[in-house]
Amino acid sequence: MYKKFCVTGACIPEKNYMVDLTSRIDRMKKDYIDKGEYFTINRARQYGKTTTLYLLEQRLREEYIVLSLSFEAADEYFQSPTSLAEGLILDISDCLREQNVGNDMIEVWESPISEGFPMRSLGKKISSLCQMSKKKIVLMIDEVDKSSDNQIFLSFLGLLREKYLKRQQGKDSTFQSVILAGVYDVKTLKIKLHPEEEAKYNSPWNIAVNFVIDMSFSAEDIDTMLEDYEKDYHTGMDRAFMSRYLYEYTSGYPFLVSKLCQLLDERVSGTEPFLTRARAWTKEGFLAAVKLLLMERNTLFDDMVKKLLDHPKLEELMQGILFGGSSIPFKRESPVIDLGVTLGFLKDRDGMVAVANRIFETQMYDLFLADMAVDHELYIEAASERNQFIVNGMLQMDLVMKKFYEYYEEIYSDNDQKFIEENGRKLFLLYLKPIINGNGNYYVEARTRDHKRTDIIVDYKGKQFVIELKLWRGDAYNMRGEKQIFEYLDFYKQDKGYMLSFNFNRNKKTGIQELNYRGKRILEVVV
């Protein structure tokens, strides 16, 4: 029975194709657990936290007792201090029995708690358990932020903190290490202590050390998963190429990597024109998987929509980066930037804020453009004329650019400079989207995006088109832009590229011309 790619719950090495995390788990044990550190693993949704905890638990059980809990469905635990203490006693009892702990320890652990002082009673039980155990004990709790806006949760963290500090002074026995996993960092939780109070940062988890291990996958990590897959199917894929492509589109976001692999294996393979796995695990098959991913509904994308609706300032920031080419210094002290990083939408790229990966970027473009597309004349025009742009199954980009010029001149040529600076990129993508929809993908090249210049790469049935969008800043700047795109064509191994310039000169000369340079051509459109 062959393994499967897993995108829900924990990945199990015996059942699932997965990245080899051995060195990462060993480092966590050596640098954190063995040293007695308390820490939080806070990463975005579906970033491999549950799998990491599962593998870490299996590794630690060789020399530790591991109490592995989850607050996923533990709302009733936080009704009162007594309900929390009793709930933890029940869950930890199950863990102890599973690891064949002696009955004497379990009897002490399960003895009744003090109704008047349940948390203090729980603390004494923890001390007794750790004193009686021949092995040191590690506590790990997944989904810890599910009930983290609760005073009872704060009391629990306070109990762990108090016992940790007393252990440091040699006055108490407690857990060797505590690991709390969730999206939000409980060290900096915004908690409302009483209904009439405004939210404030107030967490006793300042004893925790920073968890600095990178949980994203490198291209080399991804290759270990594909190597395992190849042992079963012998597709003959170019593993180095596929690993690199998976990384370039996902930046190593674990769910996206596994999901694209799952789509290649289960939905692309066996369909026209990818009738075999060998044909599926190619560049063309990969782009087909990307298209499927961007078209489907999944919990990660649904959560993205919800978070953007819940946080208008974050949506405004994302739109500014994507459409306006905003260059914003990366500082997590900024609440909106910190939120974007916490949710997995943003990252630090050379000191500037950037969208976390190409898949998220395209998904957000599609989402924002979909809001604009309703009743928008440019979108409707392109959609109604779509068939003329596809000849013998291939996109005719020359015609796309020429027709955009005509529609733009007719509809938008009299708009002011500020409108075009803010909306020029949106208008072109809004026009392009219905034309390539269903058979093509596009993304914006992060290395060139700024307020003045953006490069769009269109993948249509395996063929790439490079389009530079830029704001006209005079003849000298325009000449530099022309040289840059010729150089960029070399990088993408293309003989022809496209340039769309938005010119704000009063006496501007608009039109279409073709430029030649060292054997390469550019179709330049100036509006």
Which pLDDT belongs to residue 479? Answer: 62
The token pair that represents 434 in the structure block: 């219905």
Vertex 492: Cα angle to 486 and 494 (nearest 5): 65
Inside any domain, residue 12: no
Cis amide bond preceding 273, omega within 30: yes
417 versus 71: the higher-pLDDT residue is 71
Structural domain containing residue 484: 375-526
47 and 158 assigned to the same domain: yes
Indicate whether 8 belongs to any domain. Answer: no
Question: Among 367, 389, 416, which residue terminates a domain?
Answer: 367
Residue 155 — φ and ψ, nearest 5°? -65, -40
Q: Are residues 434 and 520 in the same domain?
A: yes
Examine the pLDDT at 201 and tell me if it is beyond 60. Answer: no
- What is the mean predicted confidence (pLDDT) over 209-236? 97
- pLDDT for 256 equals 98
Enter the tokens of residue 351.
């000191």
Q: Are 255 and 242 in the same domain?
A: yes
- The answer as to whether 171 is a domain residue is yes
pLDDT at 372 over 80: yes
Residue in the structure block whose two tokens are 């709930």:
87
Q: What pLDDT, in 10s, does the model give residues 164-200? A: 999 999 999 999 999 999 998 887 665 444 444 444 4
Task: Let me know whether 332 and 460 are in one domain.
Answer: no
Beta bridge partner(s), residue 4: 16
Burial of 329 (C-beta count, 10 Å sphere; 0-12/13-18/19+):
exposed
At 86-132, the pLDDT tens digits run 999 999 999 999 999 999 999 999 999 998 999 999 999 999 999 99
Q: Give the C-alpha separation, 440 to 431, whole Å.
A: 14
CATH number of the domain that residue 29 is part of: 3.40.50.300
Euclidean distance between CA atoms 213 and 166, whole angstroms: 28
Q: 45 and 191: one domain?
A: yes
Q: What is the mean pLDDT of residues 44-71?
A: 96
Instruction: Give domain status of residue 498, yes or no.
Output: yes
**How large is the average pLDDT for residues 447-461?**
75
Q: How does residue 440 score in pLDDT terms, banded at 50, 70 and 90?
A: confident
Q: CA–CA distance from 207 to each of 40, 43, 204, 401 (Å)?
A: 10, 19, 8, 59
Whether the predicted model's global pTM rises above the 0.85 cut: yes
Rounded to 5 degrees, φ, ψ at 37 are -80, 150
| Same domain for 188 and 103 | yes
The answer as to whether 212 is a domain residue is no
Picking from 367, 399, 420, the residue at the C-terminal end of a domain is 367
Is residue 33 in a domain?
Answer: yes
Q: What is the pLDDT of residue 193?
A: 43
Q: How many structural domains comprise the chain?
A: 4
- Answer yes or no: do 392 and 501 share one domain: yes
Residues 142, 47, single domain; the answer is: yes
b or e along 333-349 (b: 16 or more beta carbons within 10 Å of the residue's beta carbon)? eeebbebbbbbbbbbee
| 328 and 387 part of one domain | no
pLDDT of residue 388: 94
Tell me: do 281 and 427 sit in the same domain: no
Residue ending a domain, choose from 167, 201, 235: 201
Computed over every residue of the chain, the mean pLDDT equals 89
Specify whether 172 is located in the same domain as 26. Answer: yes
For 369-394, give the secondary structure using H, E and C. HHHHHCCCHHHHHHHHCHHHHEECCE
Q: What's the pLDDT band for 370 if we cut at 50, 70, 90?
A: confident
In total, the chain counts a number of residues equal to: 527
Express the helix, strand and coil content of the chain in percent, nearest 5 each.
50, 20, 30
What pLDDT does 194 receive? 46
Q: Is residue 414 domain-resident?
A: yes
| Burial letters 49-63, b for 16+ CB under 10 A, else e | bbbbbbbbbebbeee
Decide: 515 and 526 in contact? Cβ < 8 Å.
no
The Cα 41–Cα 61 span in angstroms is 19
- pLDDT score, position 473: 61
**Residue 407 scores a pLDDT above 70:** yes
For residue 360, give the CATH number of its domain: 1.10.10.10
Asked if 294 and 362 count as a contact pair (C-beta separation under 8 A), the reply is: yes
Is 189 inside a domain boundary?
A: yes
Take residue 283 and report the two structure tokens written for it.
């560049």
Tell me: do 245 and 135 sit in the same domain: no
